[in-house]
Amino acid sequence: MLDNSQFNILIVDDERFNIEVVMGYLEEEKYTLSFASNGKDALHGAFKKSFDLILLDINMPQMDGFEVIKRLKDDASTKGIPVIFLSAMDDIDSITRAFAEGAVDYISKPFNGLELIARVRTQIELRKYVLELQEKQSKLAKLAATDQLTSLPNRLHFMSTLKKKCKAIVNVPSRLSLAYFKIDHMHKINDLYGYRNGDKIIAKVAKLMGENILKNDFAARIFGGEFVILMSDTSIEAAQSKARKIQRIVADAKILETKITFSIGVSEYKKSQEHEKFVMITERLMEASRKDGGNSISL
């Protein structure tokens, strides 16, 4: 749960007394408060630090509040910051222009302290809601892209990543290789040890894979005892060497006192090839390895 101290508010006014009054009212709310005494410093601060709300005076020398908000809204990094105008200008034209420029609220000076607190609180609560919603959406997206048994990316995530990488190669030539792994005799393992222990084996294999790939490699579980490792900037020879290393590490681990072996297919992406075809070719190579008895690599 987010608390008020996590929200940054910038107060902009050329009169020090006005800044102190506003800060005096808002300090009790425990927000993190900053201030600027002119438009130039306000913009510098906003571009440098992330603010959740800006309280902005209109009538300032050199650069008034209208110019400040215009520049904020013209920049992608700051256009989403809500702005409340605090101004002695209470004519209808100024208020109308303030909202037209993108302000979310307008409070006329001299203002009531309780009114100021309430209106600021409203904007911060809206900000809290948006951030919490974004966090939930991020968690749901991650959940949808993750294999629940192994915590590796799932097939959906893998295919999406592969498509992007293949598309990028059309514009930026690069070597991209894929290794397709299938645990040999998985059905016999399940029959011998039970599906629960079979899942433990799959999870352990996934953990070993994740721990022994390079930073730029991408490992995923496709389904059952089938995995893939996508290797950027990697030739088919280098990919074969990496696959053999994984094969050796898993076999030496002797999970549940059992030597786990793989049937493996390795192929290199050909420019303009459909990403689905790339996977299909690699899977067929894996199946060829499996038909030859497994525990081998086909190129």
Q: What is the CATH classification number for the domain harbouring 162? A: 3.30.70.270
| Domain identity same for 187 and 208 | yes
pLDDT value of residue 37: 96
pLDDT value of residue 114: 96
Mind listing the pLDDT tens digit for each residue in 96-149? Answer: 999 999 999 999 999 999 999 999 999 999 999 999 999 999 999 999 999 999
pLDDT value of residue 115: 95
Domain boundary among 111, 142, 173: 142
- Assigned domain for 283 exists: yes
pLDDT value of residue 171: 74
More confident residue, 174 or 213: 213
Q: How confident is the model at residue 183 (pLDDT cuts 50, 70, 90)?
A: very high
Angstrom distance (rounded) from CA 88 to CA 110:
7
pLDDT value of residue 265: 97
Q: How confident is the model at residue 250 (pLDDT cuts 50, 70, 90)?
A: very high
pLDDT value of residue 189: 92
pLDDT value of residue 272: 83
Q: Which domain range does residue 84 map to?
A: 4-142
Mind listing the pLDDT tens digit for each residue in 203-225? Answer: 999 999 999 999 999 999 999 99
- Assigned domain for 147 exists: no
Average pLDDT, the chain: 94
pLDDT value of residue 257: 85
Q: How confident is the model at residue 299 (pLDDT cuts 50, 70, 90)?
A: confident
| Domain identity same for 132 and 164 | no
- Assigned domain for 195 exists: yes
Angstrom distance (rounded) from CA 204 to CA 201:
5
| Domain identity same for 104 and 179 | no
Residues 154-162 have a mean pLDDT of 96
Query: Domain holding 51: CATH number?
Result: 3.40.50.2300
Q: Do the bridges between strand 296-298 and strand 262-268 make them parallel or antiparallel, or are there none, so unpaired?
A: parallel
Cα 246 to its chain centre, rounded Å, is 28
pLDDT value of residue 169: 86
pLDDT value of residue 162: 96
| Domain identity same for 65 and 115 | yes
Using the predicted structure, report yes or no on whether residue 268 has a pLDDT greater than 80: yes
Q: How confident is the model at residue 170 (pLDDT cuts 50, 70, 90)?
A: confident
pLDDT value of residue 209: 95
Name the domain count of the chain. 2
Domain boundary among 119, 142, 165: 142
- Assigned domain for 259 exists: yes
**8 A C-beta contact, residue 259 and residue 294:** no
| Domain identity same for 53 and 8 | yes
Domain boundary among 120, 142, 164: 142
Q: Angle CA(157)–CA(161)–CA(166) in degrees, nearest 5?
A: 150
| Domain identity same for 212 and 113 | no
Using the predicted structure, report yes or no on whether residue 173 has a pLDDT greater than 80: no
Mind listing the pLDDT tens digit for each residue in 50-86? Answer: 999 999 999 999 999 999 999 999 999 999 999 999 9
Using the predicted structure, report yes or no on whether residue 1 has a pLDDT greater than 90: no
Residue 204: Cβ within 10 Å count: 16
Mind listing the pLDDT tens digit for each residue in 2-40? Answer: 899 999 999 999 999 999 999 999 999 999 999 999 999
- Assigned domain for 12 exists: yes
